Amino acid sequence: MLAVFEAFAVIGVVIGVGAIVGRTGVLGDNARMVLNRVAFHIGVPALLLLSLSEATLGEIFSLPLLVSAMTALTVLGVCFALMVLVRRRGRADAAIAAWAGSYVNAGNLGIPLSAYVFGSTTEISAIIFFQVVVLAPLGIAVLNSEAEPRRSAGRQVVALLTNPIIAGSAVGLVLAGTGIDLPEPVTDPLRLLADLAIPTVLLAFGISLSSRAERLPSADRVDVGIVVAIKTIAMPALAYALARWGFGATDAQVLLVTVIAALPSAQNINTYAAVYRRNESLARDATLLSTAVSIPVIAAVVGLLGG
């Protein structure tokens, strides 16, 4: 369980630095938006392109991915329906909430956690792939549908396909499927750009917590409570049930998918919310609270299932 706390400590330090930067204002009033755009348009696409291109299709399309995908899609749909039908939120705000309830922090927490606990990052890379090519387009399509001025269906499709995160993932998947290895003159600068992804997202999140210039209003507490409960309790419980009783997975696979599902909401959601200017407060609060709650939840899961 020490590995769990080590992984959380790493991201906590970087978020703390971001909070100090936001509090002091040393990077200016638009630092959070600039960092989010750097992550969205440069760092994350490069990271996903490389991580997917270095995997095989057999490693990507596996039983843990199937269980995780079914879990995420179910939770996404339930959370979206709750926000629209029960909480009476608009589609775009509901999309951010549904993402926060189902989109796991596979990159800046899942990767180090998988390395420490499972000794491999292959499975978590597959989850990143699924989230980017399935969950992200679903949410982006909803966000684009409420964009002003309203885009035509054709323009929405073009916007989806030219989204840098989706485009980077598509290139990585093609490279994985064809077995083409990129030459070092290409991969070396890509790795440098990919190294921007995690720190920029975490710094931007830290800035959002304490920035004097960009103080966000408080999110609806009921909405945040619903999202956090779904993310940290309902989602891992569903993943466990599907793996154990639905697919008869091995003990190691059950542990893996349950831990992945118990990961907190991804900091990427803050980037999406900031870029599209939708439900930013909920994205911030759900990410922060789910991270705090997920620490004891993941530690308990590892202690109970990993023995």
Do the beta carbons of residue 66 and residue 56 sit within 8 Å? no
pLDDT at position 86 is 94
Burial label for 47, CB within 10 Å (0-12, 13-18, 19+), is buried
pLDDT tens string 60-73: 778 999 999 999 99
Rounded percentage of the chain residues whose pLDDT exceeds 70: 89
pTM for this entry: 0.78
CA distance 176 to 180: 7
Tell which residue, 305, 274, 302, 205, has the closest CA to residue 6: 302
CA distance 208 to 278: 14
CB atoms inside a 10 Å sphere around CB 154: 8
pLDDT of 140 higher than 70:
yes
pLDDT tens string 238-260: 999 999 999 999 998 999 999 99
pLDDT at position 291 is 87
pLDDT tens string 1-59: 666 777 778 778 888 999 899 888 888 888 888 988 898 889 888 887 887 787 777 77
Tokens 């999140």 -> residue: 205
pLDDT at position 8 is 74
pLDDT of 81 higher than 90:
yes
147 forms bridges with which residues in the sheet?
A: none
pLDDT at position 247 is 94
CA distance 164 to 181: 21
Mean pLDDT calculated for residue range 98-104: 95
Tell which residue, 171, 95, 101, 107, has the closest CA to residue 133: 171
Question: Between these two residues, 225 and 208, which has the higher pLDDT value?
Answer: 225
Domains and CATH numbers, the chain: 1-306 (1.20.1530.20)
Mean pLDDT across the chain: 84
pLDDT tens string 146-171: 765 555 666 666 766 777 877 888 88
Q: Within its chain, how far is the Cα of 201 from the centroid?
A: 11
Confidence band (pLDDT; 50, 70, 90) for 216?
A: low
